Amino acid sequence: MCRFLAYHGAPIFLEELVTSPSHSLIKQAIHANESRSETNGDGFGIGWYGEKDRPGLYREVHPAWSDENLLSICAQVRSHLFFAHVRAATGTATSRANCHPFAVGRFMFMHNGQVGGWRAIRRRVETFIPDSLYAARVGTTDTEALFLTALAHGLEDDPVEAIETTIGLVMNEMDRAAIGAPLRLTATLTDGQTIWAFRWASDRSPATLYFQQSHAGTVVVSEPIDERREDWTPVPPGQVLIARHGEMPVLRALSPTVPAGSGLA
Amino acid sequence: MCRFLAYHGAPIFLEELVTSPSHSLIKQAIHANESRSETNGDGFGIGWYGEKDRPGLYREVHPAWSDENLLSICAQVRSHLFFAHVRAATGTATSRANCHPFAVGRFMFMHNGQVGGWRAIRRRVETFIPDSLYAARVGTTDTEALFLTALAHGLEDDPVEAIETTIGLVMNEMDRAAIGAPLRLTATLTDGQTIWAFRWASDRSPATLYFQQSHAGTVVVSEPIDERREDWTPVPPGQVLIARHGEMPVLRALSPTVPAGSGLA
Amino acid sequence: MCRFLAYHGAPIFLEELVTSPSHSLIKQAIHANESRSETNGDGFGIGWYGEKDRPGLYREVHPAWSDENLLSICAQVRSHLFFAHVRAATGTATSRANCHPFAVGRFMFMHNGQVGGWRAIRRRVETFIPDSLYAARVGTTDTEALFLTALAHGLEDDPVEAIETTIGLVMNEMDRAAIGAPLRLTATLTDGQTIWAFRWASDRSPATLYFQQSHAGTVVVSEPIDERREDWTPVPPGQVLIARHGEMPVLRALSPTVPAGSGLA
Amino acid sequence: MCRFLAYHGAPIFLEELVTSPSHSLIKQAIHANESRSETNGDGFGIGWYGEKDRPGLYREVHPAWSDENLLSICAQVRSHLFFAHVRAATGTATSRANCHPFAVGRFMFMHNGQVGGWRAIRRRVETFIPDSLYAARVGTTDTEALFLTALAHGLEDDPVEAIETTIGLVMNEMDRAAIGAPLRLTATLTDGQTIWAFRWASDRSPATLYFQQSHAGTVVVSEPIDERREDWTPVPPGQVLIARHGEMPVLRALSPTVPAGSGLA
């Protein structure tokens, strides 16, 4: 499991949300409250949009709680849209290539969840990545593979449908391999203009996801970064939150096509 | 706080005690049971004696739980005397220079505790390190400074007295600086032949320390590495365990000279 | 390009060959003499056989010249058969997963060379890796892929033939993709008992390879580790040196089956 | 030896000068032309001023040529004043604490040179650091010690005089310790508004230093970052270049007070 945060709104210093809050991601890296794994010390990453189409990335294998570079960068960089992630590895190695967020072109993606039985179906899922995107497959995570698969299935045109398609494709492989463990996908995607925050699981028990709308913008988190729990609204399981620039965020139901008998409609 | 383990006896693979047990140091790095800090992910280190007088060292800033090198080295290296340590930093940076164990010549030292108010007295304590040893002062930890101070105060001739002297010197500085926080010293020292395991605190609440005598040898731990708690004997606070090669370990009282009014006889 | 060293003979400390010589691998990491890339600072690795069938590995992304762990481990570990490698990346990332040597079961493999146009054919070559070995494919290097392909083509029974087959398969893919750049394979393989040192290139210009037979054992190097050049015998291009335990090393011609018109018989 | 670059002028992306040029610092890290050490792979660092008084810092022990974070940050961050440095260690460990630039408050400092016989006088020079600044002494480099000494000797009021005083103090210690090796100080300092680039050596043979004035601003480099050598003006040995915001840079002679008989007026 992992913990993450996404922001979209008026340009603010990353530190305002990533490092300063009372229960910031840094604190969650040491001890998360609502995560299956308390500690998230298998690397971290931030991605932010500035003046360019493509985001900047800073990803490292060290725990977030002891990285002075992270503190410094967050204190200096102002952005209107950024992601931050602290990782608890679910079976794949701790390396920069396996840290979130992942970026391809102007898109950025991060994930808190798992593809059940990943080791058994990794190769199969990688076949969904077209040759044109294979050079971007540099790690071994389920997350990177999900992202590249979605990119190959219309992510640039219809992100929600692309993620639904990806869920369907992966669930199909899990079904073929008779994997009992669930696919849990609590994930955030952006193209630098809009944030899509997905919350879906084949066992209806996806990792937590909350959002908050403030005067500055929209914040999406794995768990509240402050003590005011009442200010955070859960994204219901099976839904996606869409936060477009300058608009109020909206919720939409997810309806991936999954194999019959997978225990989920 | 940190967690550690020391072994002295018939040559065994390090993995037998460092990585394989049900509640090994690797597990304790993720989640310790008897430590003030549950997570000990600010680096780790192993030191072992082979054919040479001086020990080998492998120390890294990454958490122990994700280091494949550590697993590999522990699986291959056999030793009659070794130390292993997982670190939870108490204010000083995460760097290799600040990882335990520390080695000078044939001596090795590791620590689980703290010098209260270290930041305020670091410089003063460093004056106890003679010029001849100053080149070995490459980090900023209290532990390294304690070790070098002890080396300068007869560690090679009488380790127990040297540590008592060191405690006295440091307590004196803490007293001068009106530091209320305690000095807690649960530490292990060796010269490659004998292990000295100290357990002392100015507030009489030192970090935990246990030992076990088996047919193979003596094991000293911060907390039991298996479920058989009854097999582990606590080292009483204020005492030092001395495990000499080929002899049964003995306990001895520690009696450092500390300032009057420091709250401790 | 990279530089490497392999040894097979009476058990010696790794430092004798890896770190101590006047032109050791550490020195070559800073400045090699016979390499297309002078500097080899994209990571390093050592692998050694002790009491177990499988080798121990220590691989890191830092340059070899500044790693105190490497010095310490080499000073302490004695082995009858070991590999050491310093890397100059040829297009793939610097990460532990991409450091040599690679190990699967009791086999170990390292490489100094390149598969021309690797980026264009990586995916194709990875299809040669069977499902049973795919979990071992954790990096993106040509070397790891070559090794896993060879393992899948009889490496355990006839290493020379397996490497010849692998060369043929890869050359075929390069031919299909109309890649003009050469395949250069100067590589060393072992099963813990025998060392096979290959020197082959499609442009007949493979990276250098030398060997020396001494009373202690056989040493195979990319370039001489001392000033006595006359003591080092080149392995001729297109040949493999086979050093079996307790026997004098022998040379054998390599005859991979490569596409007609690839510019090589 | 090391290589560095400083810029002061209209806000530009760091990549324009740090990573993009034909002979950028990244290239110089692999192979410098005018440095005593060709390779500068013992870490790197960038420091830049944005909206705050204090600079942001990104420093790492990996070679600059393989760090994707460095490329990403330089591509995204725009600054009116920044430093970049690639390190070739002169005897002290490779660690983040020993990477340049060093920052205290709004001041930043980097160095290409050496304090001859540093190991012998490190402790003595550290005594020049007042208690109020000692917490900032976290590494073992001569550079960090020089910087903190200068800060303690009026750097905030008169940087040139403070550096001259520092040179004098250190030369005195070197003289006392009968050190024959020179003190070479090619260094750059800033307070976020002005850049001071010093070029001085006790043997009159300081590391190289050039500057260029363009429409955008002032660039100071260890060696030219492009092929147009004629566009770069050397800073004469024994002088300091002062580039104040909005003004043309000026040169001034340095006149530290050094011991008689040190071989230098």
Query: ipTM of this predicted complex?
Result: 0.94
Q: For residue A63, list chain B residues with Cβ-Cβ distance below 8 A.
A: 41-42, 63
Sheet containing D239-244: which strands, arranged edge to edge?
A: D102-104, D107-115, D183-190, D194-201, D239-244, D250-253
**Would you call D31 and C41 a contact, using CB atoms and an 8 Å cutoff?**
no
Q: Model confidence over B224-263: pLDDT tens digits?
A: 999 999 999 999 999 999 999 888 899 999 999 888 766 5
Question: CA–CA distance from A205 to each of A33, A66, A236, A243, A250 (Å)?
Answer: 16, 32, 11, 23, 22
Please provide residue C62's backbone torsions phi and psi, each rounded to the nearest 5 degrees: -70, 155
- B122 CA: distance to closest CA in chain D (Å): 9
Q: Model confidence over D129-178: pLDDT tens digits?
A: 999 999 999 999 999 999 999 999 999 999 999 999 999 999 999 999 99
Q: How far apart are CA A128 and CA A99, in angstroms?
A: 21
> Residue range A200-206: average pLDDT?
95
Let me know: does B192 contact B53? Beta carbons within 8 Å.
yes
**Which residues lie across from B5 on neighbouring strands?**
B84, B221
- C66 CA: distance to closest CA in chain D (Å): 7
pTM, 2 dp: 0.94
Best C76, C82, C104 residue to mutate vs chain B (most B CBs within 10 Å): C76
Q: For residue D54, list chain A residues with Cβ-Cβ distance below 8 A.
A: 75
**Which residues lie across from A217 on neighbouring strands?**
A9
Question: What pLDDT score does C265 carry?
Answer: 39
Give the closest residue to B101 by CA, choosing from B50, B74, B139, B131: B139
Which residues lie below 8 Å from residue C232, measured CB to CB, with a gap of 6+? C210, C211, C212, C221, C224
Give the closest residue to B59 by CA, choosing from D95, A60, D89: D95
Give the closest residue to B128 by CA, choosing from B142, B116, B114, B139: B142
As given in the structure block, the two tokens for residue B21 are 């047990």
First-last CA distance in chain A: 25
Question: What pLDDT score does A261 carry?
Answer: 65
The closest CB to that of B58, out of C48, C59, C69, belongs to C69
Kindly provide the b/e burial profile for residues C226-244, where b requires at least 16 CB atoms within 10 angstroms of the residue's own CB.
eeeeeebeebebbbbbbbe
The closest CB to that of C50, out of B51, B76, B96, belongs to B76
**Would you call B52 and C77 a contact, using CB atoms and an 8 Å cutoff?**
no
Question: CA–CA distance from A47 to each of A219, B257, D103, D156 (Å)?
Answer: 15, 55, 25, 36
The closest CB to that of B51, out of C52, C56, C78, belongs to C78
Q: How far apart are CA C95 and CA C93, in angstroms?
A: 6
Best A62, A69, A96 residue to mutate vs chain B (most B CBs within 10 Å): A62
Q: Model confidence over B160-194: pLDDT tens digits?
A: 999 999 999 999 999 999 999 999 999 999 999 99
CB-CB neighbours of D161 under 10 Å: 15
pLDDT band at A239 (very low <50, low <70, confident <90, very high): very high
Residues of chain D whose beta carbon is less than 8 angstroms from a beta carbon of chain C are: 30-31, 38-39, 41-42, 61-63, 66, 68, 89, 93-94
Give the nearest chain A residue to B88 (CA atoms): A66
**Would you call B140 and D140 a contact, using CB atoms and an 8 Å cutoff?**
no
Q: Model confidence over A152-182: pLDDT tens digits?
A: 999 999 999 999 999 999 999 999 999 999 9
The closest CB to that of C75, out of B56, B69, B77, belongs to B56
Q: Model confidence over D33-70: pLDDT tens digits?
A: 887 778 899 999 999 999 999 999 999 999 999 999 99
pLDDT band at A265 (very low <50, low <70, confident <90, very high): very low
The closest CB to that of B135, out of D119, D135, D138, belongs to D119
Let me know: does A111 contact D94? Beta carbons within 8 Å.
no
Q: Model confidence over C51-76: pLDDT tens digits?
A: 999 999 999 999 999 999 999 999 99
Kindly provide the b/e burial profile for residues A48-70, where b requires at least 16 CB atoms within 10 angstroms of the residue's own CB.
bbbeeebbbbbbbbbbbbbbebb
